[in-house]
Structure 1
Amino acid sequence: MSNSSVTSSLTAPDLGDGPLMTKSSPTSSNNTPKMPSSDRSRKPHKDDDRANWINGKRPKGYRTPEGREAAEKSKHYKSGTTIPHLVYPCDTYEGVLRHAVLGAIRSAGVSYGAKALVNLCLGMLKVMKGKVSFAKVLKDSFAGQDAIRFGSFFGTFSFLWKLVNNGLKLYRGTDDRVNGAIAGAIAGLSILIENHERRKTFAQQMFIRSMQGVYHAGKHRGQFSFRHGDALLFAFASAQVMYAYTMHPDTIPKEFFGFMVKTARVPAEALAINRNMVRGFPLDLKQVRAMIDRHRPTKLAIETVSNMSENASVLPCAALHPWIDSCKKNNVERFVQVTKEIFPVYATLNFVPLLVLRMKRLAKDPINVVSKTTFNTLRSSVFLAIFVAGYQTQICTHRNLLLAGLPLGNSKYLYWFIGLVCAGVSIMVEQESRRAELAMYVLPKAAESLYKILYNKKLVKGVKHWDVMMFSFAMSIIMSFYQKEQQVLSPFVTRLIYHVLGRS
């Protein structure tokens, strides 16, 4: 699994929630009831005052109690930084230019350093396994194109955004969403610095984040709301990803597919054979026997495969995990192994931002902060382990029920449904504040897979330079929200913009 895929993985670091302010918004009336103190619950507020709308029409500028609470919380999303902001008065066009240059230097340095440090920590995992030397990891982390491009991209984005935003503010004499939207769209062209794969990843992620902001904006205005929408979104997106993993692996990134195969430990050849069987091709018994011989098969596995027919409807469990006869033992082993292997990765992605962006809070209360981060790391590791073991358990159950004589068949849509079930169950293990982040990670991959499937069937057409256009469009929306309504963006996005790009 490459550094780039890990950095943008579903383990987007949880930077923590600021303390909840229980005061009402300064813009709210004196009759506005106090808001509940919990910042974890996403249930509708009991004191929701939408029933008091005149003729059921939303007043101009109205925010639900939840929206006002989010506005108070967003004031703390920018806390904990130890990196000074390089600013210059923007009273003149010369000052605007100097401010943009200083901001670009700061943003490039922060993003380059953070990326290089993440690459170094992930590379150390390979050093400990003896796969590569420390000198090579050190060189690749700090002198490789990965970190240099990353820093150049953020530095250029920061320069264009500050230059255009503050230039328009000076020219128009007003500071509003329009400035942020135009500046975000122009700054989005900086994505051309990155390679094609990174462009696509950024475009997908930022577009989803912008749509999340639009949803929250409507929700805070009382226009719509959907309970557990993040968990359901993750479940449906994961169902598409698991369907692609089993039936259309060419529609998901190669590195991501390789990570899935390595984590699940189901041989890639077994997935290919199963795809052919679902599509009605006869089974090649020699191919199956050659496959299990490469994975230390047990006597029972050899015997089971030897007695198979070319017209078999599914691959038995003996071919999916030939090294262990018991399905239960195999799935327990998968749970333990996934937890052990993914824990260092989660630890890196959780503790590096802690050291870079929250040093002040860490120094103030080290025991509490470290223990909470460690617990969240273990919790995320268990979530992924349940996902993997749960999917394999359902596959084994399906095979065993077929062996018992139940006419369940081997439909390709079965793998989509199994993915839906295991994702819906496992996501509930994660903390509620992290579920939206996981959904935002999986959804772009699911959308890309679905698009490629439809494209291969000639049901949709391709668009040239769609990644650049999508990124610019997304950043236009995000930066307009960041300008005047930061609370509708996720805390992760707000902190990322503030700590890396600084003030506008």
Structure 2
Amino acid sequence: MSHHDQNGSPEQKQPRQYLTMSPSSSYASLHDESPSLASSTYSASDAEVEDPIMTKSSPLAQTTPSSTSSSSSSSTPSSSPSPSPSPTPKKKGRFSHKHEWPNGKRPRGFRTEEGKEAAEKSKNYKTGVSIPHLSAPCNTYEGVLKHAILGAIRSGGVSYGLKAMVNLCLGLLKVMKGRGKFSQIFKDAFLGVDAIRFGAFFGAFSFLWKFVNNGLKLFRGKDDRINGAIAGAIAGIAILIESHERRVAFAQQMLTRAGQGVYNAGKFRGVFRLRHGDALLFALACGQVTYAYAMQPESIPPEYLKFMLTTARVPAEALAMNRARVRGFPVDVNQLVELVKRHRASPKTLEEVSKLTEYANIIPCSVLHPSYDSCSMNNIERFYQVLKNIIPVYATLNFVPLVVLRMKRLLADPVNILSKTSFNTFRSSLFLGVFVLFYQFQFCGHRKLFKNGWTNHHTKYIYWLFGVTTGGASIMVEQESRRAELALYVLPKAAESLYKILYQKNWVKGVKHWEVIMFSFAMSLIMSFYQQEEQVLSPFVTKLIYHILGKN
């Protein structure tokens, strides 16, 4: 049966029309003249993109199905378009998650994958470690007081025992070297003011923190970070039990730990992140410390300066004469000769030093290491001595907390735990040996360049540069999880040195009891994080608080 039109004549089959376009014609003119034909220029990959307006579930798509189909049929090209290759998935950048935020704003409660992993790791640690904490129900204010007293007793006892054990182990090293008696070392460790003050401080802090925190929880009817912040600030006044030097040290350390928590909180929320920021921070801090070691030793804490002099094994008098020449002051050649003689100088060293003048351009290597004519042999010997002397110290710092705080885990898997702790002890010792070796190598290298006439530039800032390069290179020897700890250990020393130098220049002013104010401020932040978001804190800080103070 044939189809007829209105006049009764059979319908003629219309030939298919094709679109032809000269190379000179533009897409714009085509789009203006025939919008329906413009769709024929779409590629296959464009056709696969789902339009949110024209999806099947869209009301607009449901009301105009015919127009859509007719438009697509009328714009069929003469040849099928060649399939475009599937797009290569782009590697996600460090902040690629920001593109997934609605309107570019971070959703409330958003955490990066790293933040989620840190929270899970902290949760798993708490699950796997069971510590008997003394506690009492906090349903009434009497219960809160009892809970705070019990917590103070436990915290004070644990911290006192830990400090006494560390002092005893360090004292035993002196006994082994013949520099003390065991009876006196034992008495100083357990009955000395150091351990008693340490225990009293932690006991008082625990009491104030638990009492204020749980009291606010009972009074306000909610448990949030505000309670932790207020309780941490008030508990911070317990630092007054310690000596002034210890108060300064605690304030410096806790302030840097609080800063680390703020940084991690922003990083876990996807706000900012700095790759290898711990290594960079350590390098900059080492630059300030090594500059002070060479040019401003009075700005370094005395105990830390003594440790640096003992580890580097450079005579303090040689450093003093080097400072004098850097600043343009003359040196006494006779004092130089007497100095190298006291350190078993070789004949070659004596001859070289005796030829120096009081206005020598630079203090040579023969004064810095008079016992060795060869710089290489001297550096190797110092590397060996650093390893030999520091391994017992790191072993004490690693094994004593293991025995005191993690005995249950040690007994569960002794071989794995002991082997891992031993390896970490050697690795940390190797890091310090590499640090001393590299710093001394730069010292000697600069003097060789000066001696051969390749440079005549001798400024005090070069010792800052030596510290930055040494710190940045040697920190890579240490395990990655320890780098932030080392950076936060050196940073307070560098900050104190910089502050004292600026104070000498009258660029900053002193504030009375600033260490108490800074400590309370830092503990306010730390305990606020510990209350609700403990994964942003350093694992060392979190475990220390958990083992000594416990939960609320």
Give yes or no for TM over 0.5: yes
Aligned partner of residue 411 in structure 1, secondary structure? coil
Q: Distance in 2 between matches of 1:368 and 1:474?
A: 36
Question: 1:503 Cα shift?
Answer: 1.5
The match for 1:27 is none
- The letter of the residue matching 1:49 is H
Distance change (3 Å), C-alpha of 1:375 and 1:281: same
Q: Which residue of 454, 473, 489 maps to 1:406?
A: 454
Answer yes or no: is 1:109 the counterpart of 2:157: yes
Answer yes or no: is 1:356 the counterpart of 2:400: no
Map 1:185-196 to 2 at 5 A: 185-196=233-244
| Aligned 8 A contact 1:82 1:358 in 2 | no
* TM-score, normalising length: structure 2: 0.82
Deviations 1:94-149 (A, max 9, x none): 00000000000000000000000000000000011110000000000000000000
Answer yes or no: is 1:127 the counterpart of 2:175: yes
Distance change (3 Å), C-alpha of 1:489 and 1:294: same
Distance change (3 Å), C-alpha of 1:79 and 1:359: farther
Q: Distance in 1 between matches of 2:281 and 2:516?
A: 25
Answer yes or no: is 1:347 the counterpart of 2:395: yes
Q: Which residue of 320, 328, 337 maps to 2:376?
A: 328
Answer yes or no: is 1:371 the counterpart of 2:419: yes
Q: Which residue of 204, 214, 224 maps to 1:176?
A: 224
Identify the structure with bigger relative contact order (alpha carbons < 8 Å, sequence gap 6+).
1
| Aligned 8 A contact 1:331 1:393 in 2 | yes
Question: 1:408 Cα shift?
Answer: 3.6
Q: Which residue of 300, 310, 313 maps to 1:265?
A: 313
> Could you say what the CA RMSD is over the residues aligned between the two structures, in angstroms?
1.4
Distance change (3 Å), C-alpha of 1:211 and 1:112: same
| Aligned 8 A contact 2:352 2:366 in 1 | yes
| Aligned 8 A contact 1:313 1:409 in 2 | no
Q: Distance in 2 between matches of 1:266 and 1:351?
A: 31
- The letter of the residue matching 1:273 is M
Question: 1:44 Cα shift?
Answer: 8.6
The match for 1:479 is 527
Q: Whose Rg is larger?
A: 2
Aligned partner of residue 126 in structure 2, secondary structure? coil
Q: Distance in 1 between matches of 2:95 and 2:179?
A: 58
Q: Which residue of 536, 539, 552 maps to 1:488?
A: 536
Q: Distance in 2 between matches of 1:370 and 1:45?
A: 39
- The letter of the residue matching 2:179 is K
Question: 1:314 Cα shift?
Answer: 1.1
| Aligned 8 A contact 2:346 2:370 in 1 | yes
| Aligned 8 A contact 1:77 1:494 in 2 | no
What residue ranges of structure 1 are gaps of 5+ in the alignment?
A: 1-42
The match for 1:302 is 350
Answer yes or no: is 1:149 the counterpart of 2:197: yes
Q: Distance in 2 between matches of 1:460 and 1:44?
A: 45
Q: Distance in 2 between matches of 1:180 and 1:62?
A: 22
Q: Distance in 2 between matches of 1:310 and 1:503?
A: 64
Aligned partner of residue 78 in structure 1, secondary structure? helix
| Aligned 8 A contact 1:242 1:416 in 2 | yes
* TM-score, normalising length: structure 1: 0.90
| Aligned 8 A contact 2:95 2:270 in 1 | no
| Aligned 8 A contact 1:100 1:163 in 2 | yes
Question: 1:361 Cα shift?
Answer: 1.2
Number of residues of Structure 1 aligned to a counterpart in Structure 2: 462
Which consecutive aligned stretches of 4+ in structure 1 deviate over 6 angstroms post-superposition? 43-47
The match for 1:30 is none
The match for 2:33 is none
Q: Which residue of 321, 331, 335 maps to 1:283?
A: 331
- The letter of the residue matching 1:227 is R
Q: Distance in 1 between matches of 2:342 and 2:128?
A: 52
Question: 1:212 Cα shift?
Answer: 0.4
Q: Distance in 1 between matches of 2:284 and 2:362?
A: 25
Question: 1:312 Cα shift?
Answer: 1.0
Q: Distance in 1 between matches of 2:536 and 2:156?
A: 26
Map 1:207-218 to 2 at 5 A: 207-218=255-266
- The letter of the residue matching 1:434 is R
Answer yes or no: is 1:229 the counterpart of 2:229: no
Q: Distance in 2 between matches of 1:472 and 1:313?
A: 50
Question: 1:457 Cα shift?
Answer: 0.2
Aligned partner of residue 275 in structure 2, secondary structure? coil
Q: Which residue of 245, 251, 256 maps to 2:304?
A: 256
The match for 1:100 is 148
Distance change (3 Å), C-alpha of 1:115 and 1:80: farther
Question: 1:335 Cα shift?
Answer: 0.6
Distance change (3 Å), C-alpha of 1:467 and 1:197: same
- The letter of the residue matching 1:62 is F
Q: Distance in 2 between matches of 1:45 and 1:202?
A: 38
